[in-house]
Structure 1
Amino acid sequence: MAAFTPDSEADPDFRLVTNTFVTLFWRRNLLDECTAWLDEHGYQVTSLDAAAWSSKGDLLRGIGAALDFPDYYGCNFDAFNDCFGDVAAYAAYGIDPEATGLVLVFTDFDVFAAAHPESAHVILDIVADNARRAALFGRRVMCLVHSSDPQIELAPVGAMPIMWNEAEQSNASRRAG
């Protein structure tokens, strides 16, 4: 995939990765609109329900299965970093080579993060780091994180902050109404 062009600056994919490779969403309809746009523009959108994970092992197995990691995948963070790094480099697994890029979507991530804060941070950090590395080679990888908690705050990952999407940047925009 070629790098973005100056004409891309108004496109959702460009805006999502301008400041961070991991972006928060509170309203499901905004997330759904965004993922629909990305899907229509050739991205491989891989969605996972983080609320279903009750352990670090569930998280690692779930992502590994969704991205078709090889049989030798060890279901630990080092193995995830290795295999996701391969996916970001467009290995023989995890992403359709014809796709515009990969969008990893975690729904209800706040549920998992509340129960397993360290694992939640580590997985996002690995994803962000590999997404940044992929961008250096003109490959597009991003992570969209849905939270039912509009006040969630996550530590920076991949040496970059996790930011709210444009429509929900202000606290007022995330007040239940």
Structure 2
Amino acid sequence: MPAFSTDDVLGNRLDFEIARDGFVRELRDAAVLRNAETWLRREGYRVVEMDAGAWGDDEQMHLDFAKGLQFPPHFGQNLDALDDCMSDVAEADYGWDASETGLVLVLSGFDRFARRLPRTADHVQHILRRQGRYAALFGNRLLTILA
């Protein structure tokens, strides 16, 4: 089952626009972000918000992902483990339920995190893009908004 249909293309749907552009999208305007979150929830998405701006180090980032997406206790708290766990999330093993339309991660203050830890932020974005594509192979929707 495809993650999207031609009706989604013609309908100018926000979720399709995010997926089409690589599964990760920046939305910096607060009003636009609020409207997007409202629309996504109304469409049946689980929206998980994380305050990336508060991440002072890799450990805080890993802990936030683990808590927000219910990673298993054996999560290794490194970028390889994050990628592994996000592939499980993409398959809807945990973090959300496949009966929902999809999962949207909203990482607020991501630009502040990226200034503090640019290399880690780049890896995280790469993981989220790759896992968004991976989810689509199963007909799942895993989208990320960088706010």
With the length of structure 1 as denominator, give the TM-score of the two structures.
0.79
Name the counterpart of 2:6: 6
Tell me whether 2-11 or 52-61 shows the greater mean CA deviation: 2-11
Deviations 1:5-37 (A, max 9, x none): 211122111112112111011101101111110
Q: Please, what is the CA RMSD of the aligned residues?
A: 1.1
Residue 2 of structure 1: how far off its partner (Å):
4.8
Tell me if the contact between 2:107 and 2:146 (Cα under 8 Å) persists in the aligned partners: yes
One-letter amino acid of the counterpart of residue 122, structure 2 = H
CA distance, structure 1, for counterparts of residue 67 and residue 4 of structure 2: 30
SS of the residue aligned with 1:98? coil
Structure 1: gaps spanning 5 or more residues? 147-177
Aligned to 1:135: 136
Aligned to 2:52: 50
User: Percent identical across equivalent pairs?
Assistant: 37
> After superposition, where does 1:1-177 map in structure 2 within 5 Å?
2-9=2-9, 10-91=12-93, 93-146=94-147
SS of structure 2 residue aligned to 1:62: helix
Q: 2:86 corresponds to which letter in structure 1?
A: F
Residue aligned with 2:56, SS: coil
In 1: Cα distance, 2:3 partner to 2:126 partner: 23
Please, which runs of 5 or more residues in structure 2 have no aligned partner?
A: none
Cα drift, residue 53 of structure 1: 0.8
Deviations 1:34-67 (A, max 9, x none): 1110110000100101111100110011111110
Higher normalized helix content (fraction of residues): 2
Matched to 1:131, the amino acid is G
Give the partner amino acid of 2:50: L
3-state secondary structure, aligned to 2:67: helix
8 Å contact from structure 2 (residues 46, 96) kept in 1: yes
TM-score w.r.t. the length of structure 2 is: 0.94
Q: How many residues align?
A: 145
Amino acid at match of 2:110: F
